Amino acid sequence: MSLTRRTLLAASGAGAVALGGAACGSGGAMDPSVPLDIDVADADLSGAIGLLTPDFVGDDRAVLDDDIIAPFTKRTGVDVSVDQVDWNKLNEKISTGIAGGIIADVIMTGVGWTQPFAEKGIFAEIPADFIEGLGYDESVLVSTRYDGRYYSLPQALDLRFIGFHPELLEKKGIDSAPESLDELAQAAAELTGDGVVGLDFLSGSAGSARQAFVFLLYAFGGTMFSDDGLAPRLHEEPGRLALQWMLDCMDTGAIDYSIQAAEGQPSPFQQKKAAMSLVSTGNWPTWQTMTPELCEKGAVGTFLLPSGVDADPVMFQGGTFISISSLSKNKDAAAGFMKHMLEPDILGKASAATGKVPPTPDIPETEGIRSNLLMAFGLENLPYAGATEGGSAAYMEVRSNLDGIVETCLTGRATVDQTLADMKKLCDGAISRI
Amino acid sequence: MTTTAPTAATGRTAPAASPTAPEPRRHRSVRTAEKRWGLLLAAPATLHTLIWIGAPIVVAIVLSFTAYDIIHAPEFSGLENYATIFTDGLFWLSVLHNVIIAAVGIPISMFLALVFATMLNRALPGRGVFRVMIFLPHITATVAVAMIWLWIYSPSQSGLMNVVLGVVGIKPLPFLTNPDLALGSVILVTIWQGIGLKMLIYLAALQGVDEQLYEAADLDGANFVQKFFRITVPMLKPATFFILVTSLISNFQTFDLIYILTEGGPANSTSVVTYRIYQTAFQEFRVGLANAQSVILLLILVVLAFLSRRIVGGTDDD
């Protein structure tokens, strides 16, 4: 057979098109229709599963391997391989996993993540009777539902509020917690000076500019989305007030946008370079390691973020949720591991390691939990934990761009009006694609 | 009149064949056989190129006309993705950042590379060590480079840059967290990392400059600066064109450095095109749009390569 240039090019072109077709078609080949059976006995489980988690970093990894996974493997014979990723990279890790056809069987994500991934068919539906039998409070289950069905379960809550150094406040004659956002701004301004910033609200030790904005949004009585998740609300008046509040505080120097801790170094608050700061229950293990003096009783004071509209104060509720991949090839074992993760003694061990609050009080109290003063404060005020991210299936797309939009405003590169318009445009576009 | 032209391989001159002269049949059959062998021998490389370069480009172009979210099968969406790009301010801001990085970083690194190459082309003691030192950043993994510069830029007083600033009485600067400083800080890293390869190419090109030109200039009484600008720089034009084009392309491919150093922040002040494409595909699940952005990036690179050729005046041999 003679080999002409035309034949060669035609064959190569056909190959390229076939490859293209194969690549285009790969998405449709995924089959998430196998239902989740939560009642399979341990003895019937086998094989191996993968766990994708952004938690249990550093020294906590040993707790995950030895105290959480090992007993499950011993009991069931199921091997669990762990894929650990930073919270900032978790979204990409899931999407690249889907694109590459290698996705973990059990996926741990955050508040606000359930609806987007459920809408895309990545998370398997969890039987409602199982979840309702766990006896969790409705407030922690709201974020686990999409379209009336459950797709995740809270494994830990990360509650955020304001921490302060009592001696710095006393020095300025401030003897009571602010009762409004105006009072908080005023106190922060008074505390600023001599190398100390009044309020560390943006340095990232307890979140990001996006989360700081969302926290304030709720403090001003707003929400991110409408109840059905199909219309944005964050660009409305509470959003304007939230942005303006931060800008006003930055004008007085009470909030310093550029204050940052170096990687692996104590936060400005831990170094007493900030008199007050957003803190989270998850900060506790870091404090114990780096600045144990802050863990002594009375060393740090805490109060909830006051309301900006004469309402109740608010607490930010982040957290870690567990879901099963709808694409898992070993859903029985994945469901078994999820149930194992939610057993009270396992929740207790996880909580002691990560410093995060268990989603149920029904856990054995350990020294790690008893000594965590931030957790104690968070649990006492759980009814105020109304500020959460998410609320729409479009949230993941919004989430990845919202940080930049808020930062652009806070650095004076966009006006408040432009910022609110950008937020609306971002949300409208994302919602139109669900 | 008979004309002569240098042959590509030897540089010797040979009589040019008349285009109208009839070719003997035996010669034609030999040429046909040679063509077939040529095609056969080129086939592996051609197939490799078609499968691993051509096919992905075809797929990217096809996907750029679809709405595709990785999970569900792509749906044809016409020109919608391209229309979206033209109203996506962040995409064009990212393009602008690439242009700024290129406009500032490439000339500086090329100039420094040329200076180092000229200096290290002379018989200096320890020049091998200096060559290795300057080339080292290029062969170091960008992840490692980024980690080193994260430490150098560390906002606390433990960061090298702030230690140096502290010595001269300047307070620590938030190099990577202040939007006014972040892009400049990134550019500095690209310069530092980019000098090595450019210097190596210039060094190789300098070896090819005929010494007789310098000797003739010496006889004419030219000084060092005159020789540099009248002989060295013009003789290095092909190398300069090559460096410029490859630097432009690699500048628009910058991803890992941004991913590790700044993640495009703060306030999107260091977002570059590839990072924006990555965000679009893997954070927003808009793979169709990301492919359209990639196609636009390809077009930008083609235009830049063309413009570079016009500006530097490259020849067909470049």
Asked if B71 lies within 8 A of A120 by C-beta distance, the reply is yes
Distance (Å) from the alpha carbon of B229 to chain A's nearest alpha carbon: 43
> In terms of pLDDT, which residue wins out, B33 or A18?
B33
Question: Using an 8 Å Cβ cutoff, are B145 and B194 in contact?
Answer: no
CA atoms within 13 A on the CB side of B282: 18
A358 assigned to some structural domain: yes
Nearest CB to B70; choose among A20, A95, A397: A95
The span from the CA of A57 to the CA of A14, in Å, is 48
**CATH number for the domain that contains residue A60:** 3.40.190.10
A26 assigned to some structural domain: no
Asked if B283 lies within 8 A of A397 by C-beta distance, the reply is yes
Chain A: residue whose CA lies nearest to B52: A16
Asked if B286 lies within 8 A of A24 by C-beta distance, the reply is no
pLDDT, tens digit, for every residue of A59-78?
889 999 999 999 999 999 99
Q: Which long-range contacts (CB under 8 A, 24 or more apart) does A90-94 make?
A: A90/A52, A90/A54, A91/A396, A91/A399, A91/A400, A91/B282, A91/B283, A92/B278, A92/B282, A92/B283, A93/A52, A94/A52, A94/A122
Amino acid type, A175: D
Interface test with B, best of A208, A256, A400, A427 (most B CBs within 10 A): A400
A274 assigned to some structural domain: yes
SS3 A198: strand
The span from the CA of B159 to the CA of B147, in Å, is 12
Q: Does A6 touch chain B (CB under 8 A)?
A: no
Amino acid type, B82: Y
> In terms of pLDDT, which residue wins out, B178 or A263?
B178
> In terms of pLDDT, which residue wins out, A103 or A262?
A103
The predicted model gives B82-103 an average pLDDT of 94
Q: Which of A34-43, A85-94, A104-113, B196-205 has the weakest average pLDDT?
A: A34-43
Q: ∠ CA A117-B284-A115 to the nearest 5 degrees?
A: 20
Nearest CB to B267; choose among A8, A120, A404: A404
Asked if B265 lies within 8 A of A30 by C-beta distance, the reply is no
User: What pLDDT is recorded for position A19?
Assistant: 45
* One domain for residues A286 and A344: no
Which residue is listed with tokens 């792509």? B74
Asked if B268 lies within 8 A of A404 by C-beta distance, the reply is yes
Mean pLDDT of chain A: 87
The predicted model gives A379-405 an average pLDDT of 90
Give the helix/strand (H/E) hosting A212: helix A209-219
Q: Is the pLDDT of residue A335 over 80?
A: yes
Chain A: residue whose CA lies nearest to B71: A27
What is the DSSP code string of A176-191?
Answer: S--SSHHHHHHHHHHH
* One domain for residues A183 and A271: yes
Of B305, A321, B189, whose CA–CA distance to B297 is shortest? B305
Mean pLDDT of chain B: 86
Question: Using an 8 Å Cβ cutoff, are A274 and A259 in contact?
Answer: yes
Distances (CA, A) of A22 to A25, A27, A279: 5, 10, 49
User: What pLDDT is recorded for position A383?
Assistant: 86
Q: Does B39 touch chain A (CB under 8 A)?
A: yes
Chain B: residue whose CA lies nearest to A95: B282
User: What pLDDT is recorded for position A21?
Assistant: 44
CA A10, A16, A20, A25 dihedral sign is positive
Question: Using an 8 Å Cβ cutoff, are A202 and A212 in contact?
Answer: yes
Q: Is the pLDDT of residue A257 over 50?
A: yes
User: What pLDDT is recorded for position B292?
Assistant: 97
Q: Using CB atoms and an 8 Å cut-off, which of residues 55-84 of chain B contact chain A? A: 55, 58-59, 62-63, 66-74
Nearest CB to A99; choose among B40, B70, B155: B70
Question: Using an 8 Å Cβ cutoff, are B187 and B262 in contact?
Answer: no
Domain range enclosing A120: 33-158+318-380
Nearest CB to B150; choose among A23, A263, A401: A263
The span from the CA of A346 to the CA of A337, in Å, is 11
The predicted model gives B160-189 an average pLDDT of 90
What pTM was estimated for this model as a whole? 0.83
Distance (Å) from the alpha carbon of B165 to chain A's nearest alpha carbon: 17
User: What pLDDT is recorded for position A30?
Assistant: 45
Q: Is the pLDDT of residue A433 over 90?
A: no
Nearest CB to B39; choose among A3, A24, A258: A3
Interface ipTM > 0.85: no
Chain A: residue whose CA lies nearest to B43: A8
Length of chain B: 318
Which residue is listed with tokens 């993994």? B141
Nearest CB to A8; choose among B46, B59, B287: B46
pLDDT, tens digit, for every residue of A102-122?
889 999 999 999 999 999 889
A400 assigned to some structural domain: yes
User: What pLDDT is recorded for position A355?
Assistant: 84
A5 assigned to some structural domain: no
User: What pLDDT is recorded for position B286?
Assistant: 92
User: What pLDDT is recorded for position B96?
Assistant: 96
> In terms of pLDDT, which residue wins out, B233 or A7?
B233
Nearest CB to A12; choose among B39, B46, B154: B46
Asked if B282 lies within 8 A of A91 by C-beta distance, the reply is yes
Percentage of the residues of chain A whose pLDDT score is greater than 70: 91
User: What pLDDT is recorded for position B1?
Assistant: 39
The predicted model gives A310-330 an average pLDDT of 92
User: What pLDDT is recorded for position B312?
Assistant: 66
pLDDT, tens digit, for every residue of A174-233?
988 999 999 999 999 999 998 899 999 988 666 789 999 999 999 999 999 999 999 999
Q: Which of A25-29, A64-68, A281-285, B116-120 has the weakest average pLDDT?
A: A25-29
Asked if B36 lies within 8 A of A12 by C-beta distance, the reply is no
Q: What is the CA radius of gyration of chain A?
A: 24
Domain parsing of chain B, residue ranges:
89-312
A145: CB partners within 8 A, 6+ apart: A114, A115, A151
Of B299, B306, B311, B270, whose CA–CA distance to B96 is shortest? B270
Asked if B267 lies within 8 A of A3 by C-beta distance, the reply is no
Q: Is the pLDDT of residue A337 over 60?
A: yes
User: What pLDDT is recorded for position A31?
Assistant: 53
What CATH number should be reported for the domain whose range is B89-312? 1.10.3720.10
Percentage of the residues of chain A whose pLDDT score is greater than 90: 58
Q: Using CB atoms and an 8 Å cut-off, which of residues 7-26 of chain A contact chain B? A: 8, 12-13, 15-17, 19-20, 23-25
The span from the CA of B308 to the CA of B294, in Å, is 21
User: What pLDDT is recorded for position A205?
Assistant: 67
* One domain for residues A417 and A298: yes
Band (pLDDT 50/70/90 cuts) for residue B315 is low
Band (pLDDT 50/70/90 cuts) for residue B290 is very high
Which residue is listed with tokens 């991110």? A224
CA of residue A282 relative to chain centroid, distance? 11
Give the helix/strand (H/E) hosting A106: strand A106-110
User: What pLDDT is recorded for position B21?
Assistant: 60
* One domain for residues A250 and A163: yes
Q: Which of A2-6, A358-362, B207-211 has the weakest average pLDDT?
A: A2-6
User: What pLDDT is recorded for position A12?
Assistant: 44
Of A414, A386, A27, A33, whose CA–CA distance to A221 is shortest? A386
* One domain for residues A70 and A60: yes
Q: Does A264 touch chain B (CB under 8 A)?
A: no
Return the structure tokens found at A169. Answer: 């406040």
Q: Using CB atoms and an 8 Å cut-off, which of residues 135-174 of chain B contact chain A? A: 150, 154-156, 158-159, 174
Residue A274 phi, psi (nearest 5): -130, 130
The predicted model gives B183-204 an average pLDDT of 94
CA A184, A189, A190, A194 dihedral sign is positive
- Neighbour tally for B173: CB within 10 Å: 17
pLDDT, tens digit, for every residue of B43-90?
999 999 999 999 999 999 999 999 998 888 899 999 999 999 998 999
User: What pLDDT is recorded for position A407?
Assistant: 92
Give the helix/strand (H/E) hosting B196: helix B179-207
Distance (Å) from the alpha carbon of B306 to chain A's nearest alpha carbon: 27
Chain A residues with beta carbon closer than 8 angstroms to that of B87 = none
A286 assigned to some structural domain: yes
A136 assigned to some structural domain: yes
Chain B residues with beta carbon closer than 8 angstroms to that of A24 = 59, 62-63, 66, 68, 73-74
Distance (Å) from the alpha carbon of A310 to chain B's nearest alpha carbon: 32
Q: Is the pLDDT of residue B10 over 60?
A: no
In total, how many domains does chain A have? Answer: 2
pLDDT, tens digit, for every residue of B227-264?
988 999 899 998 998 899 889 988 998 999 999 999 89
The predicted model gives A305-329 an average pLDDT of 93
Nearest CB to B179; choose among A15, A88, A411: A411
A6 assigned to some structural domain: no
Q: Does B2 touch chain A (CB under 8 A)?
A: no
CA B109, B112, B118, B119 dihedral sign is negative
Measured between its terminal Cα atoms, the distance across chain B in Å is: 31
Chain B: residue whose CA lies nearest to A5: B39
